């Protein structure tokens, strides 16, 4: 019996040892799973490589960090953040003074303006108003002032007599008509003088002369003068039939604007002749401005589109776009120009901001007809009358201003850059017909 009891005790002790050992195993397994450096003893355990700790060691999961470690990590993160912020503050002041350095003193404020004002409205005209230069203009209008010219023949009518020739109005009419003033404008001028004569307001020839001059100034004074470049860039489309002086006018204007400090881009929109492109390149080189060209026969609209993009890119003030005066294709010139204008609008809202029609004053009445055709097709904002130095019939300017009511912006009195003059009605009339104080100078 006592033997049986010993056996029972022995079994109980063995069972106790067994359960004790069983209860210890899971703990060590858990430890093994968390500690990757411990070699895996049991193949069953090593069959779970996902819990292999190497990567976890490199980037421990929050689960594994103790509260102490977490606080340390948070602190380190905070310190890092503060250091980063401090660095940023240190960099900014270094970059800020770098902006207004000598390299780009002009560009920086321009970029600011661009962001706040999509279309810059300038308060100053790009071409400052020039002082009157009647003498200079008179030299340019020399031919019209010759004995056989417009002024010369009118002058001969007024001999400074006290008594007025009763036929003076009719004689004036004949001279005006033969000087390209045009029928309706001549009528307007003559009627103004006749009206005053019939009311007895004109007591001598000097007064008649003065009345004629006054009416001429009134007809010419319809808001003309140099363009004011309100947009950045202001896109100017230059149109006109072939040979009138479009390219030359663009070259002259570019020279002047560049000299005055404006950034100009020329667009070689006359792609039908290689010579036209070269002509513009020569002017561009002389003026010192960028010229955007395309291959011969390229789409004119595309070339001008590129020029506008270029102007925007480099912050130019003005784009002067040349166009062809005659097409070698069957396309209608007016349709082609309208198409080009539409492409320009795609490149920049509101473009072309100005459409200048160039007319050759030696074309006389033809120039007046051309103005009518172009005005019908395009929203003209100004006229440039060229070659006034080459005609004895300066009267065409009166006909164009009065009949079409399109302001004359510039006049050309020669081939050189300085021969493009801002049009001023009073100055022009004074140069051609003399001033009020010069009544006795009509023979000047
Ligand atoms: N005397 C004088 N000649 C001028 C004036 N303006 C232009 N010209 C001349 O007129 C000629 C024709 O000028 P362009 O500028 O080539 O004319 P365009 O309208 O561009 O001609 P296309 O390209 O053929 O359509 C050139 O010989 C110019 O020098 C001017 O005001 N006075
Ligand atoms: Mg040309």
* pLDDT tens track for 90-133: 333 333 333 333 333 333 333 333 333 333 334 444 455 667 78
Q: What's the confidence (pLDDT) of residue 251?
A: 98
Does residue 421 have its Cβ closer than 6 Å to ligand 1?
no
Does residue 243 have its Cβ closer than 6 Å to ligand 1?
yes
- Please calculate the CA angle 340-345-350 and round it to the nearest 5 degrees: 130
- Please calculate the CA angle 370-376-380 and round it to the nearest 5 degrees: 80
| Collapsed DSSP state (helix, strand, coil) of residue 225 | coil
CA distances from residue 151 to 30, 176, 191, 392 in whole angstroms, order as listed: 116, 10, 19, 9
What is the distance in A from the centroid of ligand 1 to the CA of 247?
7
Nearest to 344 by CA among 409, 292, 280, 278: 292
Please state whether the predicted TM-score (pTM) of the whole model is above 0.75. no
With the most atoms of ligand 1 within 8 angstroms of its CB, the residue from 241, 243, 266, 267 to mutate is: 243
Q: What's the confidence (pLDDT) of residue 193?
A: 93
Give bridge partners of residue 354 from the DSSP assignment: 236
Q: What's the confidence (pLDDT) of residue 89?
A: 33
Q: What's the confidence (pLDDT) of residue 18?
A: 61
Cα four-point dihedral sign 343, 344, 349, 353:
negative
| Collapsed DSSP state (helix, strand, coil) of residue 229 | coil
pLDDT < 70 positions in the chain:
1-5, 7, 10, 12-130, 160, 328-330, 435-444
CB atoms within 10 A of CB 162: 8
What b/e sequence results for 77-109 when a residue is b if at least 16 CB atoms lie within 10 Å of its CB, and e otherwise? eeeeeeeeeeeeeeeeeeeeeeeeeeeeeeeee
Question: d(Cα 397, Cα 385) in Å, to the nearest integer?
Answer: 7
With the most atoms of ligand 1 within 8 angstroms of its CB, the residue from 241, 244, 245 to mutate is: 245
CA-CA-CA-CA torsion for 280, 283, 288, 291, nearest 10 degrees?
A: 0
Give the phi and the psi of residue 287 in degrees, each rounded to 5. -75, -25
């Amino acid at each position: 019996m006592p033997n049986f009891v010993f056996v029972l005790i022995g079994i109980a002790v063995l069972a106790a040892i067994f359960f004790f050992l069983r209860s210890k195993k899971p703990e060590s397994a858990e430890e093994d799973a968390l500690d990757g450096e411990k070699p895996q003893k049991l193949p069953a355990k090593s069959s779970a490589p996902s819990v292999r700790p190497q990567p976890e060691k490199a980037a421990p999961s929050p689960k594994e960090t103790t509260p102490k470690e977490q606080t340390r990590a948070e602190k380190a993160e905070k310190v890092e953040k503060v250091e980063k912020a401090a660095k940023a503050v240190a960099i900014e002041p270094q970059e800020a003074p770098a902006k207004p350095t000598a390299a780009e003193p002009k560009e920086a404020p321009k970029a600011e303006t661009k962001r706040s004002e999509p279309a810059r409205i300038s308060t100053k005209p790009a071409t400052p108003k020039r002082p009157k230069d009647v003498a200079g203009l008179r030299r340019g209008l020399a031919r019209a002032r010759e004995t056989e010219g417009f002024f010369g023949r009118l002058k001969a009518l007024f001999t400074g007599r006290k008594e007025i020739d009763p036929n003076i109005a009719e004689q004036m009419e004949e001279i005006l008509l033969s000087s390209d003033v045009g029928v309706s404008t001549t009528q307007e001028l003559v009627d103004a003088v006749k009206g005053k004569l019939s009311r007895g307001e004109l007591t001598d020839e000097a007064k008649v002369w003065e009345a004629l001059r006054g009416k001429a100034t009134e007809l010419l004074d319809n808001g003309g003068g140099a363009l004011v470049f309100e947009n950045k860039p202001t896109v100017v489309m230059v149109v006109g039939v072939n040979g009138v002086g479009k390219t030359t006018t663009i070259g002259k204007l570019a020279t002047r604007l560049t000299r005055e400090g404006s950034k100009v881009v020329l667009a070689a929109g006359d792609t039908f002749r290689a010579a036209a492109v070269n002509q513009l390149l020569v002017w561009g080189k002389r003026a010192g401005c960028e010229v955007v060209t395309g291959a011969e026969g390229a789409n004119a609209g595309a070339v001008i589109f590129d020029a506008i993009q270029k102007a925007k890119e480099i912050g130019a003030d003005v784009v002067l776009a040349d166009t062809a005066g005659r097409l070698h294709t069957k396309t209608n010139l007016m349709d082609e120009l309208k198409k080009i204008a539409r492409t320009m609008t795609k490149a920049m809202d509101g473009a072309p901001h100005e459409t200048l029609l160039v007319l050759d004053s030696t074309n006389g009445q033809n120039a007046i007809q051309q103005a009518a055709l172009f005005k019908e097709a395009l929203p003209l904002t100004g006229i440039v009358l060229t070659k006034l130095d080459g005609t004895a019939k300066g009267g065409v300017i009166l006909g164009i201003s009065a009949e079409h009511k399109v302001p004359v912006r510039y006049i050309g009195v020669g081939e050189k850059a300085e021969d493009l003059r801002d049009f001023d009605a009073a100055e022009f009339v004074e140069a051609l017909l003399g001033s009020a104080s010069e009544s006795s100078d009509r023979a000047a």
